[in-house]
Amino acid sequence: MYLVCGEALFDFFSKDDASGLTSKVNYQAIAGGSPFNVAVGLRRLGVDVGLLAGLSSDFLGRRLHQVLQEEGVRTDFLVQFEAPTTLAMVAVGADGSPQYSFRGEGCADRQLQPSHLPLLGNDVRGLHIGSFSLVVQPIGDTLQALVQRESGQRLISLDPNVRLNPQPDIGLWRQRIGSLVPHADLIKVSDEDLNLLYPDRDPAEVIQGWLQQRCQLAFLTRGGQGATVFSRAHGSWSVPARPVTIADTVGAGDTFQAALIAWLTEQQLDSPAGLAQLSKAQVDALLDFAVGAAALTCTRTGPDLPYRQQLA
């Protein structure tokens, strides 16, 4: 199984009011959060997966728990807190890109302490971490401790997924990503994230630096411009985005991440040793699978990640 670690919340998508009154704002609430989406996406792609997260005992927290159960995500790694559920207010632009505003200070998904970390058996093949849980406290330091403890024992994947609203200090983001990269075997990052983290550096230069450490494969997603893979063994190359009618891009990056892990799991290559065995043709197939999965999500509203049979 795979263990995804981080926040679970509700995204509130603004919708135009039928009356046209600017004094009214309608919202549609959808369960989300990048790690939550990745966990659900992995299960829909056929991977046995659990979510390590703090969930509120409030109404929205109970709904998140119910969604995970209905999706088939293992809930035995969840920790309940008497604290509110984080809310993300989402406005979708004309190009389908989302703008987020978080209400999360003191909320349940931030409350994980090192004492909440489980001992992991051999059935846990890998860990995934990412998004603002990396930099808010106390969960940020807790996930850092988990990754340091498990590095080298199982596959570790990282997606920075920088969100400046919950933590606007880009220096803190940069420091935390810098401390996590040496433990990551697989990294997925967007061009937007790299521009925020290292605005004065060439993205390829940054990623090549990562490949000099533990990382064996890194993927740079570029929205409508497609994606680029950087392989320590086989070099780098790019593929274009799939031509689709975009509803919005919410969840596309999480789908890409889940698809990477799912493909490796299907091929029984979801381990540090497995990554080292990948041929160039296999890396290309992995990239193609992830790009196709992300494209399908873009045709849907909100983080509605695909099922495995839809990607046959």
pTM to 2 decimals? 0.94
Measured between alpha carbons, how far is 84 from 64 in angstroms, rounded to an integer?
12
Contact 56, 83 (CB under 8 A): yes
Instruction: Decide if 21 is inside a domain.
Output: no
pLDDT value, residue 90:
79
Which pairing describes strands 9-15 and 87-92: parallel, antiparallel, or unpaired?
parallel
Provide the CATH number for the domain around residue 73: 3.40.1190.20
What's the rounded mean pLDDT across residues 153-157? 97
DSSP H helices, the chain, are 34-44, 59-71, 139-150, 170-180, 191-197, 203-211, 252-266, 272-277, 280-298
Q: Which of 59-73, 86-100, 110-124, 201-215 has the lowest mean pLDDT?
A: 86-100
Measured between alpha carbons, how far is 109 from 115 in angstroms, rounded to an integer?
15
Q: Give me the number of domains the chain comprises.
A: 1
The model's pLDDT over 212-228, given as tens digits with 9 standing for 90+, comes to: 999 999 999 999 899 99
The model's pLDDT over 279-294, given as tens digits with 9 standing for 90+, comes to: 999 999 999 999 999 9
Instruction: Decide if 7 is inside a domain.
Output: yes
Instruction: Decide if 19 is inside a domain.
Output: no
Domain that holds residue 120: 2-13+28-302
Instruction: Decide if 311 is inside a domain.
Output: no
Tell me the two tokens of residue 88: 């993300």
In residues, how long is the chain? 312
pLDDT band at 248 (very low <50, low <70, confident <90, very high): confident
Which pairing describes strands 227-231 and 49-56: parallel, antiparallel, or unpaired?
unpaired
Tell me the two tokens of residue 215: 């990382």
The DSSP-derived string for 134-199 is: GTSTTHHHHHHHHHHHHBTTBEEEEE----TTT---HHHHHHHHHHHGGG-SEEEEEHHHHHHH-T
Measured between alpha carbons, how far is 221 from 272 in angstroms, rounded to an integer?
22
